[in-house]
Amino acid sequence: MSHKSYKHWMVVFLMCCLAASSIGLCTNAIGVFYTPVSQSLDVLNGTFALHATLSTLATALTSLKISRAIKKHSYKKILLIGVILSSGATWLMSYCTSVYAFYILGILRGIGVGIYGMVPITVVITNWFDKKHGLATSLALSFSGLSGAIFSPLLSSWIIHYGWQMTYRFMAVCIFTLVLPALIIPWNIDPQKEDLLPYGYKERKQTIHIQNNKVNLLTISFICMCLFTLLHTSITGISQHLSGISVSIQLSATIGATLMSLAMIGNISTKLLIGLLSDLFTPVKAVIIMILTNCISLVLLFIGVIHKETLLLYIGSFMFGSIYSVGAVGIPMLTRYFFGNKNYAKTYSVIGFLTNVGSASSLTLIGYLYDFTHSYQIVFIIALCFHLINLILLGTICLKR
């Protein structure tokens, strides 16, 4: 059986498409709807953002079970169900006149995203790649940032010219279209079913560590990893509020959309970079570099908001994209690095659940923090504190290995 073929990289391309649809459009680009829809429905920003929280929680719960489901059933059939749920729910949002309808549809969209989002994507890449795992992961998940960078200003423009209702319909079509290649092209989640081995398997099979034994989920290392994941991903929601941050200091909605787009460009760049750094050094060193980069971005955003300095906001937004490099690429790589390949589906199903819980909680909490304090300053301070705690947690895991 071959361990290197065009099929390995074709699978990466298909995962790029799934990431662009599930994470890029359904998660990263929805922030442009917060202000126009909440104003149209005459509700608080945080109240409307709750639909995104419910959506992400639904994704988290789905992620707990999806790794088992894709082993037992044809993934293409499961994938079709997922994209119908996510695109269909998005289309129906265009007809909503009540925030409660958004809550119900948000849950349905979240289930769809969980079916073909982060956990399935990383499980597939882990199955198909041994060598160059970091590069393959970063390539696939960078497309979630590319999708967000392209669609954030595009959706914002469509909202201005066609209204948020019609824009939801355009978005639904895009969500489904991006998944079409994975539905049409023949492929399998397990390379051995296609008489192939994971990429680079022969070169690495002698270096696999004893970490591949069964893992105890109640160890200090795993608990620290879970807490690290929860705290880190609870910061990611800031990017969805960059448009609101712009408006809060009397800057235009166009500048706000640009900030979100820059964050997505930073998302792409740092996801590619963290994969290369991980393959060059170790996942731990790569993650630490990205955390420190994100700390700098938070300081720039803090100062930029105080002084209404657009340049600082632009630079800070771009650098803030590094938050996704750890959440989307770094955490899966750390899970594989600390707990091994054979335990990956089991350990990452739990960690993937917490990834979505952290993201879900931040979307609403940040919205309400602004509603009640009329400032985003406290959010930046809390985020910096979380980063400090996470560096300590990462050091603890390394010492316990």
pLDDT tens digits for range 70-99: 877 788 899 999 999 999 999 999 999 999
Question: Rounded distance, CA 345 to CA 343, Å?
Answer: 6
CATH of the domain at 104: 1.20.1250.20
Structural domain of 113:
6-191+205-400
pLDDT of residue 211: 44
Asked whether residue 18 is domain-assigned, the answer is: yes
20 occurs within a structural domain: yes
Whether residue 82 lies inside any domain: the answer is yes
Q: Is residue 197 assigned to a domain?
A: no
**Partners of residue 199 on adjacent β-strands:** 129
For the stretch 105-131, pLDDT in tens is 999 999 999 999 888 998 899 889 888
For residue 198, is it within any domain? no
Question: Taking Cα atoms as reference points, which of 18, 45, 20 lies closest to residue 34?
Answer: 45
Give the C-alpha separation, 383 to 371, whole Å: 18
Give a yes or no: residue 196 inside a domain.
no
Q: How far is CA 345 from CA 59, 98, 143, 359, in A?
A: 16, 39, 22, 21
Q: Which range scores top for mean pLDDT: 60-69, 309-318, 349-358?
A: 309-318
Number of domain units in the chain: 1
Q: Distance (Å, rounded) from C-alpha 328 to C-alpha 326?
A: 6
The pLDDT tens digits for 228-253 are: 999 999 888 888 778 778 878 888 77
Contact present, 108 and 85 (Cβ < 8 Å) = yes
- Interhelix angle 118-128/99-116, nearest 10 degrees: 10
Q: Is 2 helix (H, G, I), strand (E, B) or coil?
A: strand
Entry pTM: 0.77
d(CA 164, CA 159): 5
**Residue 366 is assigned to a structural domain of this protein:** yes
Q: Is residue 282 part of a domain?
A: yes
Q: How many other CB atoms are found less than 10 A from the CB of residue 68?
A: 12
> If you average pLDDT over every residue of the chain, what do you get?
87
**Token pair of 319, please?**
């650098």
Dist CA 268 CA 249 (whole Å): 27
